[in-house]
Chains A and B, each alone.
Chain A
């Protein structure tokens, strides 16, 4: 889980490999609060959390975003209690969907590594100035070893120069985190929403720039498509599920089924997805979350983008249940048959 991330960071700092202040806080709420204070003073910050810890942090997520502080965190996606369960699904970060954080979901360990570097550049973009949450599937990405190309420091420094954003100055003091009445509150929210629009541009640009320096990119930064060229049907999903979907499509030589992996859940890439699903007969959305009384949150976002095409929700993998190759084959069949409503995997 997130513990691995912060353990390795503490080792790197203890050995002097990384020059940073490391704070062993007493709670996730305080973790985000320390980030708030440090970022508002004018330094880069990072934290990582999961599940109940992220839930405890919710209050501060909204405040950090509302204060327009470019904090970066990794969320290792895990289910929420009850029942208590430590395994993977997206309940934790989906709950924080409307907190004003940019949310980027990764498919592989390499992508997680690369996205953290990109996240600072996106967050600190002058027109954006919003926090970024890099989301990775618990266990599937956090506990499985895979080779990762660690970027050279010089290249990273070229891509991401020293922090030059907002900082406090004793000569010209500023007030941060003020309260706003009905006359002003809405304007703050309008600006936050506008910043999310700019974030779409920033994510795309950053992905392209990253490719120039490091030779790797992830779709257009917002979404990635696979086998969509001749596809009649499409599966929409996020995170590590996309890896399995690609494998099944490739290995089983499936021609009529394409994959759209949504990397950026917020800001939501409406235009890009609309373009990708043009001419598709039937769409299935596979997701690891449930909004009880409604269904899958991702599915309803997709449904809002098309009036003509059937969009079915496939909810599975909750609490860490494996979504296997056979499950994918069944999902593909259901999509072709335009099976409607909520389908449990």
Chain B
């Protein structure tokens, strides 16, 4: 049954001037330094109260919706792991049938989007339903104990792609989900990072425009627990990812690609890698060549992206 979303106790009182805190309350059970509260408040701050959030099974779902408590100040629906896009499609169609308007935002993790949720996502995009789909990507199955997903970066160490003597971490490159989504010819696709909140907000605003639905935003969410860095460094790591070119901020609007934050002088990837425990094995003498390999990959991706922007 539905649980009425009410703030409980003094801890749930919104901080002054924080409208978004009334839409996602204080007191969720996430880890310290978790980027998800930052991302969700940025998203809801733009979307406002007339919003239905459809959440896939994920870290966010676990920390925000344990019966009988809820963190949500907007309508919230959780169904299963792989189908946030399909449930959100149902919500969107029902609102249309009822003659009501409101934002329908699906929020899922990288596993729920790039792995198990890819089919439902593709179906929703292909049918062109009015859903803004946001992937909060922390690059592994964090909520179940840091298992590798298809969003895990090359050579990152996870509990199922450990830094072994023979196999030094994850063997594959990150699945290019943004391009897969863009190939569905949806009007608005973008990347974002919790390191750049204004950029994220601007993109959410664009994604929620009526003519831009369905839309997709892929947000990099540095996870202190799984990436192994100190909890206070979340935003810094989110920025370092962009400054080193490990993550690129861009959008594809009606097929036209544009970098939203250009990095004139990229820092070496080493700076990003050395800041996180999941890459610490790459700094052993026998693995140094991997860092070079990653740098080359980043360089060629930047080249490719820049070319694509000129198309």
| B76 to chain A: closest residue by CB | A175
Chain A residues lying within 8 Å of B76, measured Cβ to Cβ, are 173-176
Once A26-B119, A41-B95, A43-B94 are accepted as A-B contacts, the answer to whether A175 and B1 lie under 8 Å apart by CB is no
| B101 to chain A: closest residue by CB | A170
Answer yes or no: A244 CB below 8 A from chain B CBs.
no
CA gap between A45 and B119 in the complex, in Å: 22
Once A34-B87, A37-B79 are accepted as A-B contacts, the answer to whether A178 and B74 lie under 8 Å apart by CB is no
Whether B80 and A176, one on each chain, are in contact in the complex, defined by CB atoms closer than 8 angstroms, is no
CA gap between A267 and B282 in the complex, in Å: 60
Binds A, one of B120-128, B193-201, B232-240, B303-311: B120-128
In the assembled complex, the CB of A85 is this many whole angstroms from the nearest CB of chain B, namely 26
Answer yes or no: B98 CB below 8 A from chain A CBs.
yes
Answer yes or no: A33 CB below 8 A from chain B CBs.
yes
CA gap between A50 and B90 in the complex, in Å: 21
Whether A37 and B119, one on each chain, are in contact in the complex, defined by CB atoms closer than 8 angstroms, is no
In the assembled complex, the CB of B52 is this many whole angstroms from the nearest CB of chain A, namely 6
Answer yes or no: A38 CB below 8 A from chain B CBs.
yes
Whether B65 and A178, one on each chain, are in contact in the complex, defined by CB atoms closer than 8 angstroms, is yes
Once A36-B79, A181-B66 are accepted as A-B contacts, the answer to whether A41 and B127 lie under 8 Å apart by CB is no
Whether B87 and A176, one on each chain, are in contact in the complex, defined by CB atoms closer than 8 angstroms, is no
Partner of B50, one of A25, A27, A29, A170: A170
Chain A residues lying within 8 Å of B67, measured Cβ to Cβ, are 178-181, 184
Chain B residues lying within 8 Å of A178, measured Cβ to Cβ, are 3, 65-67, 70, 78
Whether A27 and B123, one on each chain, are in contact in the complex, defined by CB atoms closer than 8 angstroms, is yes
Once A42-B98, A168-B52, A175-B3 are accepted as A-B contacts, the answer to whether A33 and B87 lie under 8 Å apart by CB is yes
Kindly identify, within residues 219 to 245 of chain A, every residue whose CB is under 8 Å from any CB belonging to chain B.
none
Answer yes or no: B93 CB below 8 A from chain A CBs.
yes
Answer yes or no: B4 CB below 8 A from chain A CBs.
yes
Chain B residues lying within 8 Å of A173, measured Cβ to Cβ, are 5, 49, 72-76
In the assembled complex, the CB of B252 is this many whole angstroms from the nearest CB of chain A, namely 23
CA gap between A166 and B70 in the complex, in Å: 19
CA gap between A184 and B65 in the complex, in Å: 13
Answer yes or no: A63 CB below 8 A from chain B CBs.
yes
CA gap between A238 and B74 in the complex, in Å: 46
Residue with the highest number of chain A CB atoms closer than 10 Å, among B1, B85, B90, B102: B90
Answer yes or no: B89 CB below 8 A from chain A CBs.
yes
Count of residues in B whose CB is under 8 Å from the partner chain:
49
Answer yes or no: B86 CB below 8 A from chain A CBs.
yes
Residue with the highest number of chain A CB atoms closer than 10 Å, among B2, B70, B78, B122: B2
**Cβ proximity bits B91-104 to A, threshold 8 Å, 1 near / 0 not:** 11111111010100
Answer yes or no: B62 CB below 8 A from chain A CBs.
yes
Count of residues in A whose CB is under 8 Å from the partner chain:
43
Kindly identify, within residues 139 to 163 of chain B, every residue whose CB is under 8 Å from any CB belonging to chain A.
none
Answer yes or no: B88 CB below 8 A from chain A CBs.
yes
Chain B residues lying within 8 Å of A167, measured Cβ to Cβ, are 98
Kindly identify, within residues 233 to 284 of chain B, every residue whose CB is under 8 Å from any CB belonging to chain A.
none
Whether B127 and A37, one on each chain, are in contact in the complex, defined by CB atoms closer than 8 angstroms, is no
Partner of B123, one of A30, A168, A176: A30
Q: Is the interface of A mostly helix, strand, loop or mixed?
A: loop
Q: Is the interface of B mostly helix, strand, loop or mixed?
A: mixed
Answer yes or no: B26 CB below 8 A from chain A CBs.
no
Answer yes or no: A24 CB below 8 A from chain B CBs.
yes
Chain B residues lying within 8 Å of A181, measured Cβ to Cβ, are 66-67
CA gap between A37 and B54 in the complex, in Å: 8
In the assembled complex, the CB of B74 is this many whole angstroms from the nearest CB of chain A, namely 5
CA gap between A178 and B71 in the complex, in Å: 11
Whether A37 and B75, one on each chain, are in contact in the complex, defined by CB atoms closer than 8 angstroms, is no
Once A29-B83, A37-B91, A180-B67 are accepted as A-B contacts, the answer to whether A170 and B102 lie under 8 Å apart by CB is yes
CA gap between A166 and B83 in the complex, in Å: 22
Chain A residues lying within 8 Å of B93, measured Cβ to Cβ, are 21, 23, 34, 37-38
Partner of B90, one of A36, A177, A179: A36
Once A21-B93, A34-B87 are accepted as A-B contacts, the answer to whether A60 and B66 lie under 8 Å apart by CB is no
Partner of B91, one of A30, A40, A63, A184: A40
Chain B residues lying within 8 Å of A175, measured Cβ to Cβ, are 2-3, 5, 65, 70, 72, 75-78
CA gap between A174 and B62 in the complex, in Å: 17
CA gap between A299 and B163 in the complex, in Å: 55
Chain A residues lying within 8 Å of B102, measured Cβ to Cβ, are 170
Once A41-B98, A63-B80, A177-B78 are accepted as A-B contacts, the answer to whether A33 and B5 lie under 8 Å apart by CB is no
Kindly identify, within residues 95 to 139 of chain B, every residue whose CB is under 8 Å from any CB belonging to chain A.
95-98, 100, 102, 119-120, 122-123, 126-127
Whether B97 and A21, one on each chain, are in contact in the complex, defined by CB atoms closer than 8 angstroms, is yes
Q: Closest 8 interchain pairs by CB? A: A37-B90, A26-B123, A33-B86, A41-B94, A174-B2, A177-B78, A37-B87, A30-B86
Q: Can you spell out 8 A-B residue pairs with CB atoms less than 8 angstroms apart?
A: A37-B79, A38-B90, A63-B80, A168-B75, A170-B100, A174-B2, A177-B78, A181-B66
Could you list which residues of chain A lie within 8 angstroms of chain B, going by C-beta atoms? 20-21, 23-27, 29-30, 33-43, 45, 59-60, 63, 67-68, 129, 166-170, 172-181, 184
- Given A26-B119, A41-B90, A175-B72, 12 new contacts (CB under 8 A): A21-B94, A25-B86, A27-B123, A30-B86, A37-B94, A38-B90, A39-B94, A41-B91, A173-B5, A174-B2, A175-B77, A178-B70
